[in-house]
Structure 1
Amino acid sequence: MNVSRFIFSSLVVVVSSCAAYAQKGMKETVGQYCLIGSSLNQRQSDGHDAAATAIVRTHFNTAVAENCMKSESLQPEEGKFDFSAADRFVEYCEKNDLKPIGHCLVWHSQAPRWFFKGKDGKEVTREELINRIKTHIHTVVSRYKGRIHGWDVVNEAIEDNGSFRKSKFYNIIGEEFIDIAFQEAHEADPNVELYYNDYSMSNKGKRDATCRLVKHLKEKGIRIDGVGMQSHNGLDYPNIDEYEKSLEAFAACGVNVMITELDFNVLPNPRGFGGAAVEQNYDYQKKYNPYTKGLPKDKAKELNDRIFDFFKLYYRHRDKITRINLWGISDANSWLNGWPVRGRTNYPLLFDRDYKAKPVVKDIIKLYKK
């Protein structure tokens, strides 16, 4: 027996095995149980971010449109739709074997101003607003019929205390606007999945109200497939036990649970900050931006452990969770660099500013490889 040749062959096998392991991504491990993906900004879905695409192809099997499918982008003027960026998002997903998620059809925060004004310049009537909702949803959902995996139909309609948000949709139409939106989306594409999506879902008031909403829709025979738990988390919030209670409660309502908009803020919060309402804005102060040159080792470990604690929770409930979506690919382009305080340096995602995987990615892959 040629000992040298045997040793060499063995080394080749070991090196090849290590290389194969290194190339395995989250979509091959986490993806055994649920969809795993990220939001894409327009530059990424237009194909101008090669580093992001490399991560997408290795780790993700789904993607959600960050902004290009919101109503202010799709219909900036009444009756004048602009699908150019949204079309490119869907095409990008198809090219890269991603199940596209449409976000979102009805949301108070990024609706065009004209949506709530009548032709006389005054507040739109109830009937007119209902017609506008129906027209918008029918036009958008029909265009992508058979190409979109699921839609966030209504976004952020419930307050943390469980009351309905007093948005223009609610004030003019009443809570029935939610029924109308889900019904219209289903009629436009009977096979597409339909979701309700909201933040601060660990709060008992919002948890209970969301469950009531799901039960209400089901009792009326209106399709709803899942609840999206926006998970804009921090190092010390939300309480993970309360978060788990909400996950279990939504699953008990007979819908799928999705972890949406997942990220982890590591920076100190201004006083009075809470939730994820985009209208929150605070003046820049140096004390709110302490890590401009990178995270200290102890803080990086704390972040890694916090992220992994949530993924261990997701693994335990893998029979209930059908999708995990990060809100962004790289720290460099996370919205948390500019919200709720502009000009900060944040570290909330699984890939750093150089698009390199953080240690927790390997931990997640190993966890789901069990």
Structure 2
Amino acid sequence: MKLRRSALVATVALVAAGALNAVPASAGHPERPADLSLRALGQRSDLAIGTAVDMAALDDTTDPQYRKLVAEQFSSVTPENVMKWEVLEPTQGTYNWAPADELIAFTKQNKQRVRGHVLVWQNQLPAWLTDGVNNGTISDDQLRDILHKHITDTVSHFKGKIWQWDVVNEAASDPWDSPSTIHYKGFWTQHLGGGIIADAFRWAHQADPKALLFYNDYNIEAFGDGGPGDKTQFVYNMVKQLKHDGVPIDGVGSQGHLGTQYGDYDALQINDTLNRFTDLGLDVAFTEVDVRSQMTAGVQAGDSNEINPRLQAAAADFSALMQGCLANRRCISFTVWGFTDKHSWVPGWFKDPLEGMATLYDENYQPKRAYNTLKADLIFAGRR
């Protein structure tokens, strides 16, 4: 459910900004739920509310608001880049743990959990690895051993400090790929076959048996027709087989990258999908949520006739994901992929046409309609 709002966007931002700076309630003035942070409201429903963190922004002493909001608003943190392989091991055999360790220290200080991201992904790999495979100096057998070592070294280094690991990320193709039948894609399955997915989970579990191990992917918020072009069905079949084979997989992460220009799903469709995964005995989580909009000339010129509908549509999409999650007790975390447009990845990636406005706060750290809508969903949730 959502609170109804009829005020202008600017008014909503001012009200929410005031809530962020509200004085703690005294015994004579009971605390209002609307004055609580996302973090505090999520705790009432036993749901971790998280954000991806840009370490450069976190360390920017000229911009203390970023660090302040990460600590205040979120109970879970995902490293946006500093646990990816190209950052962790830029030179073979030489690890750069410092940025990730710094983030871990920050989360410990602020009593936050950590989602580790990511162990097996075809992007942001170190050049020494991809070049070696391409020029033939690294064979497929050697590549398998290198991956085993990377997973073991990384998970062992952070053992006891990571709540959830994204073990394998985006291994399923899309229906617009060729062929359109969904299949395994990317560097790792191309060289080592689909069986490497199970191996990755086994290696991660051996290194830290207490960490929750997730498969993570985008465009799996709802099932399609169940046919060969249905990506969600493909992922469902994959994890069902992994469970059947005794592979130590604990959950499925649905990234939740949405766009207001598309016909996105409602909360019941989303909840049905989560229920089908949890019926397999898995936990579920939304792991990278943002809702982007096309930055038309009117939007960039500040035309409220174009901006307001996009803000309302984004709030509805954020809310559908949150409501779908709240209706399933095994949906254990809801993570946004950055919380402010000031540090969003979207405009740098979606350029033709340009897209943006994807997060809960604008570039000046003013909360948008989506922020209050998520708070309303958490306030009225039945989970206690």
- The TM-score, its normalising length taken from structure 2, stands at 0.80
Shifted more, 204-213 versus 242-251: the winner is 242-251
- The TM-score, its normalising length taken from structure 1, stands at 0.83
Deviations 1:18-39 (A, max 9, x none): 8765641111112322110110
Q: Secondary structure at the match of 1:266?
A: strand
CA–CA distance in 1 between the matches of 2:282 and 2:69?
Answer: 30
Question: Does residue 290 of structure 2 align to residue 263 of structure 1?
Answer: yes
| Shift in CA distance, 343/315, structure 1 to aligned 2, threshold 3 Å | closer
Deviations 1:109-142 (A, max 9, x none): 1112322454993163221111011110111110
Pick aligned residue for 1:106 from 84, 103, 120:
120
Deviations 1:243-300 (A, max 9, x none): 44433332222211111211111116xxxxxxxxxxxxxxxxxxx5542244625532
CA–CA distance in 2 between the matches of 1:58 and 1:81?
Answer: 31
Q: Which has the higher contact order (CA 8 A, sep 6+)?
A: 2
Question: Does residue 378 of structure 2 align to residue 368 of structure 1?
Answer: yes
Match of 2:3 in 1: none
Match of 1:237 in 2: 262
CA–CA distance in 2 between the matches of 1:175 and 1:264?
Answer: 31
Contact 2:34 2:375 in 1 (8 A): no
CA–CA distance in 1 between the matches of 2:28 and 2:53?
Answer: 33
CA–CA distance in 1 between the matches of 2:356 and 2:50?
Answer: 20
Measured on the aligned residues, the alpha-carbon RMSD in Å equals 2.7
Q: Secondary structure at the match of 1:63?
A: strand
Match of 2:244 in 1: 219
Pick aligned residue for 1:315 from 323, 341, 345:
323
Match of 1:331 in 2: 341
Match of 1:296 in 2: 304
Alignment of 1:154-165 (within 5 A): 154-161=168-175, 163-165=182-184
Shifted more, 44-53 versus 211-220: the winner is 44-53
Contact 1:52 1:329 in 2 (8 A): no
Contact 1:292 1:345 in 2 (8 A): no
Match of 2:41 in 1: 29
CA–CA distance in 2 between the matches of 1:354 and 1:95?
Answer: 26
Pick aligned residue for 1:60 from 45, 70, 74:
74
Contact 2:292 2:314 in 1 (8 A): no
Question: Does residue 101 of structure 2 align to residue 82 of structure 1?
Answer: no
CA–CA distance in 1 between the matches of 2:335 and 2:191?
Answer: 32
Structure with higher Rg: it is: 1
CA–CA distance in 1 between the matches of 2:360 and 2:204?
Answer: 33
Match of 1:271 in 2: none
What displacement does 1:16 show?
A: 7.2
Q: Secondary structure at the match of 1:324?
A: strand
| Shift in CA distance, 297/215, structure 1 to aligned 2, threshold 3 Å | same
CA–CA distance in 2 between the matches of 1:264 and 1:243?
Answer: 15
Shifted more, 32-41 versus 353-362: the winner is 353-362
- 2:350 maps to amino acid: P
Alignment of 1:337-348 (within 5 A): 337-341=347-351, 344=354, 346-348=356-358
| Shift in CA distance, 355/295, structure 1 to aligned 2, threshold 3 Å | farther
Match of 2:52 in 1: 39
What displacement does 1:346 show?
A: 2.1
CA–CA distance in 1 between the matches of 2:162 and 2:60?
Answer: 19
CA–CA distance in 1 between the matches of 2:288 and 2:133?
Answer: 36
Contact 1:46 1:88 in 2 (8 A): no
| Shift in CA distance, 80/289, structure 1 to aligned 2, threshold 3 Å | farther
Pick aligned residue for 1:172 from 191, 199, 217:
191
What displacement does 1:104 show?
A: 0.4
Contact 1:24 1:58 in 2 (8 A): no
Match of 2:11 in 1: none
CA–CA distance in 1 between the matches of 2:303 and 2:81?
Answer: 29
The unaligned stretches of length 5 or more in structure 2 are: 1-24, 176-180, 225-229
Contact 1:231 1:263 in 2 (8 A): yes
What displacement does 1:327 show?
A: 0.7
The unaligned stretches of length 5 or more in structure 1 are: 1-12, 269-287
Shifted more, 316-325 versus 235-244: the winner is 235-244
| Shift in CA distance, 321/84, structure 1 to aligned 2, threshold 3 Å | same
Q: Secondary structure at the match of 1:338?
A: helix
Shifted more, 302-311 versus 201-210: the winner is 302-311
| Shift in CA distance, 14/125, structure 1 to aligned 2, threshold 3 Å | closer
Match of 1:199 in 2: 218
- 2:90 maps to amino acid: P
| Shift in CA distance, 333/345, structure 1 to aligned 2, threshold 3 Å | farther
CA–CA distance in 2 between the matches of 1:178 and 1:147?
Answer: 23
| Shift in CA distance, 357/197, structure 1 to aligned 2, threshold 3 Å | same
Q: Secondary structure at the match of 2:248?
A: coil
- Between the two proteins, the alignment pairs up a number of residues equal to 339
Percent identity, aligned pairs only, is 29
Deviations 1:291-322 (A, max 9, x none): 22446255324423442354255335422311
